[in-house]
Structure 1
Amino acid sequence: MRGIELRDAHVRYGPLEALHGITVAAPAAALTVLLGRNGSGRTTALRALAGTLPLSSGAVLHDGRDITRSPAHERAARGLCFVPDRRAVFSSLTVAQNLELSRADGGFGHALTAYPELRPLLARRAGTLSGGEQRMLALSRALLARASVILVDEPTQGMSPPVAARSHALLAGLAGPDTCVVVAEQRLPPAWRERASRTAVLVHELRRGAVVRSGEAAEFSAARE
């Protein structure tokens, strides 16, 4: 399978087990949502995929290849882009410098087209931005990286509703034949339910470190209605 997968993954924080043998597949050409409240294990699962948190047992597969023992920097070199929920920008660098570091090649005009709010802030240090502005800058990494795997935790924290809706649409649009997008969220955004016919949106709902339900976004919408 092209994409990334957790297989029978266990993660421990000291004596406490945070993931209880979960299996989560995120195929290419799809947007995969790890859905759950705080403490559900969704952030832990994302960090395990990124390599910033080791598994106690189980495996991480990328395009069918076992990368469980590969550190985070090696996964990044293979095309994995991870945008954590905190400390996702270089606070001492300017917005322009952050964008320069994020681009795979060429300029960073694409990010400014997606987030024109950043244009007047290019000379500002990233640490002085508001929470929503920092999230826009952090998401620009995903837009510029041209990665094969994009992992994003809580992408729209601090954003206004219009900017959040735009960000959800942008993330769905990044999924392609050679790219999978995995996002950890507390709630399923309306934009992803509406896009389900054009971009496959798959949902894995987590509770207390276990996957309790998996399916397409439309199935979750119908159940909630």
Structure 2
Amino acid sequence: MTLSLRHARVRYGPLEALHGVTLAVPGRGLTVLLGRNGSGRTTALRALAGTVPLSGGAVVWDGADVSRTPAFERARRGLCLVPERRAVFGSLTVRENLDLAAAAHGLTHESALVAYPQLEPLLPRRAGTLSGGEQRMLALSRAVLAHARVVLVDEPAQGMAPAVAARTYELLGSLDACVVVAGQRLPPALRDHPAFVYELRRGAVVFAGEAGEWKRREGRG
């Protein structure tokens, strides 16, 4: 299984956010999209998920063009998007958020607590009252419960303490899934991880290679 963008273009009104981006994500393992705000990294994730339409190019999944396949249908096929914002149901409790995700797969919310035991004392709390890092843990726990084939995560460790962030990348790297994470910088936890890196600037890919190669190129090795 592979997931790819092929010469993908995305427009927001008169502005083009992706200028013919081509990138390929392997069937299992971790791929990182790097770039500053406005680079197109979040738009690339949304294009893969189907939450923004392409104005040109294609999204190809398992050899089939899914560019016109709606986001809900991609989700049914096993794609899970964890956006940077509004990734949880703020009016529901932590327990209710987890139960909704677990019930769809015949599981219980306790399965998610293995990944983030810090959530257990927060189960009665409304998700909207949690800190940013706690909401990220909840959102990622829901993604783990989904047992998705493809997991797309924007800013996975935003607001998390360093130890929890390291645990998060360890968790994402261990999933039996195609995992794509987007962020501004390569996290310390991934600098020696066998991850593939794409760097975007102004809607175009300017680097594609292994994390170690990116470190050497940037003088961080």
Aligned positions of 1:96-175 closer than 5 A = 96-103=95-102, 104-174=105-175
Q: Show structure 1 runs of 5+ residues with no match.
A: none
Alpha-carbon separation, structure 2, partners of 1:152 and 1:69: 22
Aligned residues: 217
Equivalent in the alignment of 2:42: 43
Whole-angstrom distance in 2 between the partners of 1:58 and 1:75: 18
Q: Distance in 1 between matches of 2:28 and 2:140?
A: 19
- What CA RMSD, in Å, does the superposition of the two structures yield over aligned residues? 1.0
Structure 2 counterparts to residues 47-126 of structure 1, below 5 A? 47-103=46-102, 104-126=105-127
Task: Specify every segment of 5 or more residues in structure 2 that has no aligned partner in the other structure, as ranges.
Answer: none
1:219 aligns to 2:204 (yes or no): no
2: CA distance, partners of 1:126 / 1:63: 35
Aligned AA for 2:14? Answer: P
Counterpart for residue 3 of structure 2: 4
SS in 2 for 1:114: coil
The 1-side partners of 2:186 and 2:137 are apart by: 19
CA deviation vs aligned residue, 1:98-125 (integer Å, no higher than 9, x gap): 1111222222323212111100010111
Scaled by the length of structure 2, the TM-score of the pair is 0.95
Q: 1:66 Cα shift?
A: 1.0
Q: In the TM superposition, what is the alpha-carbon distance from 1:195 to its structure 2 partner? A: 2.7
Q: Which moved more, 1:105-114 or 1:90-99?
A: 105-114
Question: What CA deviation, in whole Å up to 9, does each residue of 1:25-58 have, x standing for no partner?
Answer: 0111221111111110000000011111000011
Please give the alpha-carbon distance, in whole angstroms, between the structure 1 residues aligned to 2:211 and 2:52.
28
CA deviations over 1:131-184 (Å, ceiling 9, x no partner): 11001001112211111110000011111111111101111111x3xx200111
- Distance in structure 1 (CA, Å) of the matches to 2:109 and 2:54: 35
**Structure 2 CA distance, aligned partners of 1:141 and 1:65?**
27
- Secondary structure, counterpart of 2:85 in structure 1: coil
Percent identical residues: 67
The one-letter amino acid of 1:58's match is G
2:188 to 187, 190, 194: 190
Q: Runs ≥4 in structure 1, deviation > 3 angstroms?
A: none
Are the aligned partners of 1:172 and 1:192 in contact in 2 as well (CA < 8 Å)? Answer: no
Q: What is the identity, as a one-letter code, of the residue corresponding to 1:151? A: L
Using the alignment, how far apart are the partners of 2:100 and 2:154 within structure 1? 20
Q: Partner of 2:209: helix, strand, or coil?
A: strand
CA distance in 1, matches of 2:93, 2:61: 33
